[in-house]
Amino acid sequence: MKRQILVVVTTILFSLSFDSVSARFFPNITGLPPLPFSKNGTLAPWDAFTKFAGCRSGEKRDGLAKLKQYFNEFGYIQNAPSNFSDDFDDELEKALRVYQQNFNLNVTGELDDQTLQKIVLPRCGNADIVNGTTSMNSGKSASFHTTKHFHTTEHFTFFPGTPRWPDHRQDLTYGFADQLTDEVKAVFARAFEKWSAVTPLTFTPTDSYILADIKIGFFTGDHGDGEPFDGVLGTLAHAFSPTNGRLHLDGAEDWVVAGDVRTSPLPSAVDLESVAVHEIGHLLGLGHSSDENAIMYPTISSRTRKVELGSDDVEGIQYLYGSNPNYNGSTSTTSTHERETSDGGVRDSISRWSLGVILTVGFGFVLL
């Protein structure tokens, strides 16, 4: 009992040790801040990796050490040395092959354009490989699923040990470290509803951040959990496995709360609901999926909206918790075309950036 109390007190003290990012309102579009750039002058932390196009084993390129750090951060290189070299060595080639397999790319072991285009995309900060093990494509075996309801073509994964919220804790509360508007809170409410619609779980907001089962906050840089944020784009957010309950979002992002993110004037605009739905999946026990249509796929482009659970997400979460008795087999009436959309293509019509809200944490809320 004393140990349980100590754990609770430690968690509360940790949560209060790092201030979340506050927000303020800008009344109109003239309040938009200048387009944000990282300190190295690029729009995103990983854009510089594109210079490695065509690089292969045996070569040496200035800056490859940073690419190795990237692969180390997401679990593809284990036991990191104090300093990575700029050599394209066997360890980097092995990591690259596993990455390519997990992301359904041609497994070449080389830094081809297709692979680099995937690497530089904004993504979840959670690792694809935890403690050297993965259930993404590279870790699948023919016997991974054994019941008639699951097949080897499914790509959903779990954290090591398959943690989940216990049966006596399935009516969960969530609270915010930040003073957020009703519009922003509504985004999270919709995100939680995606998961409650297909499981017996319920999610209720509470004013008590400290006592909430799920604690949500916006932070920047090093915020004390060992997973520092990196500024605009790059890693967008991360969440911890059950029953930790922490969900952290990068306060440097340009978070779109309402309006059509696809036509945002900001190339760095990120749809808040899309990221929230993904991170809640982690809070409930899901790892990353190799299915590009799944919410739990690790990457998402800026100016993209992807909020509806795919069949892979549904089967994965129902493996952990069972089905909502009222679930009819459909997560939404939204068409497949609308499930995942971005600015990367010709449109039938380009609407004006509709009346909406951009949450630019660190700069503030922007009303358009």
The 3-class secondary structure across 228-293, one letter per residue, is CCCCCCCECEEECCCCCCEEEEECCCEEEEECCHHHCCCCCEEEHHHHHHHHHHHHHCECCCCCCC
312 labelled binding-site residue = no
145 is in an annotated binding site: no
Establish whether 149 is an annotated binding residue.
Answer: no
- 55 carries a ligand binding annotation: no
> Do the strands 269-271 and 202-205 form a parallel or antiparallel pair, or are they unpaired?
unpaired
- What is the token pair recorded at 325? 């008795």
213 is in an annotated binding site: yes
> CA triplet 317, 338, 101: central angle to 5 degrees?
55
Task: Report the SS3 class of residue 87.
Answer: strand
For the chain, list residues with pLDDT below 70. Answer: 1-43, 135, 138-153, 331-368
Task: Count CA atoms closer than 13 A to 303's CA, side-chain side.
Answer: 12
Cα–Cα distance for residue pair 176/188, rounded to 1 Å: 10
Residues in the chain: 368
Report, as residue numbers or ranges, the catalytic residues: 279
Helical spans, DSSP H, in 303-355: 311-321, 336-339
Q: Sort 186 into a burial class: Cβ within 10 Å, 0-12 / 13-18 / 19+.
A: middle
> Is 238 one of the annotated binding-site residues?
yes
155 is in an annotated binding site: no
224 carries a ligand binding annotation: no
- Do the annotations mark residue 296 as ligand-binding? yes
Separate counts of helices (H) and strands (E) for the chain: 8, 10
Q: How far apart are CA 311 and CA 293, in angstroms?
A: 9
pLDDT tens digits, residue range 31-57? 344 444 433 344 689 999 999 999 999
Domains of the chain (ranges; CATH) run 10-45+153-367 (3.40.390.10)
Contacts of residues 65-70 at CB distance under 8 Å and 24 or more positions apart, as own/partner, are 67/92, 67/119, 68/92, 68/95, 70/46, 70/119
| pLDDT for residue 283 | 98
Is 288 annotated to bind ligand? yes
Q: Would you call the peptide bond into 199 cis, given omega within 30 degrees of 0 as the criterion?
A: no
Nearest CA-CA partner of 115 in 59, 64, 54, 63: 54
